[in-house]
């Protein structure tokens, strides 16, 4: 799982975390928001991501900063914008265009 993550990549939260006493000022990632990976922790149970938008003051026993479970995020997919579908609609004579008189 850790191979898909790298520092600097943009990720979108797919499963927001509830605010808890373990977070600073009750901050938690929100579903649908985009974040930047600042660090990656490969743990024995799950991988964790550190986010540029949040710095956690607490650390794991091995000194690594506490992060968010990686399965709460997915990589942002860049899609190119295309108006091709609209061009097809405009150039298709079988689609009636309603005009107000």
- The full DSSP string for 17-53 is PPP-TTSGGG----TT-EEEEEEEEE-SS-EEEEETT
pLDDT, average across residues 32-61: 83
Reported as a pLDDT band with limits 50, 70 and 90, residue 4 is confident
- All domains of the chain in start order, with CATH: 2-91 (2.30.30)
For residues 77 and 72, give the distance between their C-alpha atoms in angstroms, rounded to a whole number: 16
pTM, rounded to two decimals: 0.65
- What's the pLDDT tens digit per position in 62-82? 666 778 889 999 999 877 777
């Amino acid at each position: 799982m850790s191979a898909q993550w790298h520092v600097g990549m943009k990720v979108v939260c797919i499963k927001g975390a509830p605010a808890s006493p373990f977070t600073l000022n009750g901050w938690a990632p929100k579903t649908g928001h985009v974040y930047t990976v600042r660090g990656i922790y490969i743990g024995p149970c799950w991988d964790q991501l550190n986010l540029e938008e949040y710095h956690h003051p607490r650390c794991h026993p091995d000194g690594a900063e506490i992060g968010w479970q990686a399965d709460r995020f997915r990589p942002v997919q860049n899609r190119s914008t295309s108006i091709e579908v609209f061009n097809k609609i405009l150039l298709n004579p079988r689609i009636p265009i309603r005009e107000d008189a």
